[in-house]
Structure 1
Amino acid sequence: MILSKPFRLGLAAAATSALLAVPALAQEAAAPAPAVSADVAYILNTLLFLIGGFLVMWMAAGFAMLEAGLVRSKNVSMQSLKNIALYSIAGIMYWAIGYNLMYTGVDGGFMGSFGTYGFDPVGLEGADSAALLETGYSTASDWFFQMVFVATAASIVSGTVAERVRLWPFLVFVVMLTGFIYPIAGSWQWGGGWLAERGFSDFAGSTLVHSVGGWAALAGAIVIGARTGKYEGGAVHPMPGSSIPLATLGTFILWLGWFGFNGASQLAMGTISDVSDVSRIFANTNLAAAAGVVTTLVLLQLLYKKIDVTMVLNGALAGLVSITAEPLAPAVWQALLIGAVGGGIVVFAVPLLDKLKIDDVVGAIPVHLLAGIWGTMIVPFSNTGTNYVTQFIGVLAYGTFTLACSFIVWFVLKAAMGVRTSAEEEMMGLDKAEIGVEAYPEFGRG
């Protein structure tokens, strides 16, 4: 997911009789691979989008399980509801507004056009089929793959502001994030906007997805405030989650989904070179996550003499976020180093947020925002086609835009609707107070 839609996939039929989809930025200097027919490449590219898309969609389940495990039992139903609702809202908004804002008519600018997105007609034949082969992929598969990334950004916000945000204001924020904020920001790079023309590089979204979600979450945490009792008396009061096994399951689901997140961002599977690169992306993604886990384990043992399993879970996710900006170019040792630093970020950033009294229930800000910045800034370490100045400009631009827009939306919602539950409702738990369905109704009964 580096080049704008018109440039990401295309046919080399003018040069050869076969189709070669345009590879990711790091691949442009690769030697030509053996040709395949246009329709076979079209099928393979579309298949990559669909497989990658449903793997990333599976990450919605991972976020739901991770958050359900890390919130207290009285808020589990609320988190489950928020996650299925935000995924559905993201899909509709990205069809109605988001996709065209991100990809249609950006042309080096700051946003695309308004309008719903249209899919290929049913039963393509003859001339229509031949014309559509020039795209190199099915338009519906492309929309689906892009859409599930939007939902990921919204899921990041959900975990941070858990246990004290009201349902409907949160869902209104999701509408604004998935329909406007994320697509406009995404157009600057993946839509062929001004950052793409400057050479900014973010292969699969360390900044475009994860840091954008992280900035939005940070704004929400600041506007909404900490949970009641979290920072009383000058001390930090831990509020353990309901289920470590559930959080662990969620982490493994996210880890699995990340192979689609990063691997399918190659955007082409019509050549031996592309398939080989997808395999390399899988390997680097897995190694970075593993390095994040091991680094977190070691640091926690050295610093605290005890190991917090929730930090280790987040260490895996931070390793994954860190490698997402450039999962192809790094050598093995570089992938390990990138993931390891991501794990270290979690260990040091979580207590820092507590000192600042920023209540992040699931640790999403260290994982997605800070590790996303790290992953984006370190791209030139392995990809010589980029530079640190341009990467910094991109990180700064995304941070400024997303934080400003998110603050505006959260403040408007706070004034118009109120975004936070009352102290009594928070004490009762949002399962009872907001939605009336407890996740574990038999608890506490004789």
Structure 2
Amino acid sequence: MQIENLAIAIDSVWIMLCAILVIFMQAGFVLLEAGSARMKNAGHIAGKQLLSFSIVALAFWAVGYGLTFSEGAFIGVGGWFLDFPVEEGAVPTEILFLFQLSFVAVSLAIAWGGFAERAKLSVYIIFGILYTIVIYPVVGHWVWGPDGWLHALGKQDFAGSTVVHLQGGIAALVATMMLKPRLGKFNKDGTPNLIPGHNQVYSVLGVLIIWLGWFGFNPGSTLTAQDGFFGYVALTTNLAAAAGAIAAMITIRMLVGKAEIPTILNGVLAALVAITAACAFVEPWAAIIIGAIAGSLTVFTAIYFEKKGIDDPIFAFSVHGVAGIWGTLSTGLFASPRLVESVGVGKAGLFYGGGLTQLGVQALGVFVSAAYVGVVTFMILWVLKKISGIRVSEEDELLGLDLSEHGGYGYPEQLSKAEMAKLSKKEGAL
């Protein structure tokens, strides 16, 4: 009995540690998104990330966790406020909740990328609540729920290429299309203008923090420290990320002649996204291929969508949506029989003689998940647009969201006299 209790204690500490690592990824998103935005919006973006986590923490505790992980055919029908039966010899529900909460927070942070620099603060709040209780739990239940229908089909998504990243990426794409491009992003002939972020060092540090946090994200999804398998998952995760960085650098160098730093960062993140579904199912050599393809793919898709007039400020759909699709499909190609048998989910991939079965299940999961998230995101934003609007005024966008939404500047020493006069005039009118 003492040995059993010790095993549960070890697993509990391991999962709690991983939850903290993934929650710390929010700091990475603060630096990445703020650094990738203009100076006049940096404080808003940083503060919004804190607000986002607070919204998710309350909504997922009250409703979202129960919808995702309680029993039910289409969606969970119990577990409100973590009202789950206490199981002897199991990790406490509270710890499992904190771990899963960290995943939802990451998914919403991804979605916010499509809103950046032009959405109203009120839209963040309302959409954040609805995303946590109406969007994320449905797909989460389908894939990870105890009786989710995609789970029953054997869909392989070890740590969330579909559940976390594809959902966030699709929501970001819908949002950025409905909000329309930022002022000055495109010329009259449709050609794009570069709107660089204000601090590449912040962006690099942000990605390094996110990379570190991913060692909680993927290895933590083993939900146990007892067999040491989390070390293998950490290995495939790290190899993929490194391959994504190199592949993205080579690709952008071939295209424009320069090794652009933001593109290399996107290559790292895209590779991490892609390996998240496959990390427990593929061999190390396959992880490198998956990461490298993701790194290159995000370069081409980012350029393509920008040419099509889509202004995705941090390329959330290319990095998380497209890479999430590729990562989800990749297990249908590369899933190793020995690992599939060990993990006990789905079947071997096409390249191991497994046929098209697993690839078909993966493709079905991508399609239904993307369709659900896309439709519901559009409906929510359409209603908000009709009721109160979802985009700030042109004047507020030009002034910057730091001042227009919060009344304070992230870099007050850079505040020009003209901007100060505008702010004083606006406050006087109130």
Aligned residues: 396
Which residue in the other structure is 2:164 paired with? Answer: 209
Point out where structure 2 has 5 or more consecutive residues left out of the alignment.
338-345, 348-357, 418-430
Correspondence for 1:50 among 16, 23, 40 = 16
Q: For each residue in 1:177-229, what CA deviation from the matched residue of structure 2 results, as whole angstroms up to 9, or x when unmatched?
A: 01221011100011131111111110000011000001111111111111011
Amino acid at match of 2:411: Y
Correspondence for 2:75 among 105, 108, 111 = 111
Equivalents in 1 of 2:55, 2:79: separation in Å?
Answer: 17
Tell me if the contact between 1:69 and 1:247 (Cα under 8 Å) persists in the aligned partners.
yes
Equivalents in 1 of 2:313, 2:265: separation in Å?
Answer: 14
Does residue 367 in structure 1 map to residue 303 in structure 2?
A: no
Q: After the TM superposition, which residues 91-240 of structure 1 pair with which residues of structure 2 at under 5 Å, given as runs?
A: 91-106=57-72, 109-114=73-78, 116-118=80-82, 132-134=87-89, 136-192=90-146, 193-234=148-189, 235-240=191-196
How high is the TM-score relative to the length of structure 2?
Answer: 0.89
Which residue in the other structure is 2:391 paired with? Answer: 420
Correspondence for 2:260 among 308, 312, 315 = 308
Equivalents in 2 of 1:97, 1:114: separation in Å?
Answer: 9
Equivalents in 1 of 2:78, 2:283: separation in Å?
Answer: 41
Stretches (4+) displaced over 6 A: none
Tell me if the contact between 2:62 and 2:82 (Cα under 8 Å) persists in the aligned partners.
no
Which residue in the other structure is 2:405 paired with? Answer: 434
* Post-superposition offset of 1:382: 2.9
* Post-superposition offset of 1:158: 1.5
* Post-superposition offset of 1:299: 1.0
Equivalents in 2 of 1:117, 1:219: separation in Å?
Answer: 31
Which residue in the other structure is 1:259 paired with? Answer: 215
**3-state SS, counterpart of residue 281 of structure 1:** helix
Correspondence for 1:244 among 196, 200, 206 = 200
**3-state SS, counterpart of residue 357 of structure 1:** coil
Amino acid at match of 1:209: V
Tell me if the contact between 1:74 and 1:429 (Cα under 8 Å) persists in the aligned partners.
yes
Equivalents in 1 of 2:38, 2:402: separation in Å?
Answer: 10
Equivalents in 2 of 1:185, 1:303: separation in Å?
Answer: 37
Amino acid at match of 2:101: M
Equivalents in 1 of 2:392, 2:259: separation in Å?
Answer: 33
Equivalents in 2 of 1:305, 1:223: separation in Å?
Answer: 34
**3-state SS, counterpart of residue 116 of structure 2:** coil
Equivalents in 2 of 1:344, 1:335: separation in Å?
Answer: 14
* Post-superposition offset of 1:429: 0.6
Amino acid at match of 1:174: G
Equivalents in 1 of 2:71, 2:289: separation in Å?
Answer: 39
Q: For each residue in 1:1-22, what CA deviation from the matched residue of structure 2 results, as whole angstroms up to 9, or x when unmatched?
A: xxxxxxxxxxxxxxxxx8xxxx
* Post-superposition offset of 1:300: 1.2
Equivalents in 1 of 2:82, 2:193: separation in Å?
Answer: 51
**3-state SS, counterpart of residue 439 of structure 1:** coil
Which residue in the other structure is 1:29 paired with? Answer: none
Point out where structure 1 has 5 or more consecutive residues left out of the alignment.
1-17, 19-35, 121-127
Amino acid at match of 2:409: E
Q: CA RMSD in A?
A: 1.6
Equivalents in 2 of 1:219, 1:445: separation in Å?
Answer: 35
Tell me if the contact between 1:79 and 1:162 (Cα under 8 Å) persists in the aligned partners.
yes
Which residue in the other structure is 1:5 paired with? Answer: none
* Post-superposition offset of 1:37: 2.5
Equivalents in 1 of 2:415, 2:387: separation in Å?
Answer: 37
Which residue in the other structure is 1:318 paired with? Answer: 270
Which residue in the other structure is 2:41 paired with? Answer: 75
**3-state SS, counterpart of residue 412 of structure 2:** coil
Label 1:45 to 1:119 Cα distance change in 2 as closer, same or farther (>3 A): farther
Equivalents in 2 of 1:444, 1:428: separation in Å?
Answer: 10
Equivalents in 1 of 2:175, 2:368: separation in Å?
Answer: 19
Which residue in the other structure is 2:353 paired with? Answer: none
Tell me if the contact between 1:293 and 1:312 (Cα under 8 Å) persists in the aligned partners.
yes
Correspondence for 2:55 among 82, 89, 94 = 89
Amino acid at match of 2:265: L
Tell me if the contact between 1:66 and 1:246 (Cα under 8 Å) persists in the aligned partners.
yes
* Post-superposition offset of 1:346: 1.3
* Post-superposition offset of 1:170: 1.6
Correspondence for 1:278 among 226, 230, 235 = 230
Which residue in the other structure is 2:374 paired with? Answer: 403
Equivalents in 1 of 2:10, 2:411: separation in Å?
Answer: 45
Equivalents in 2 of 1:118, 1:406: separation in Å?
Answer: 26
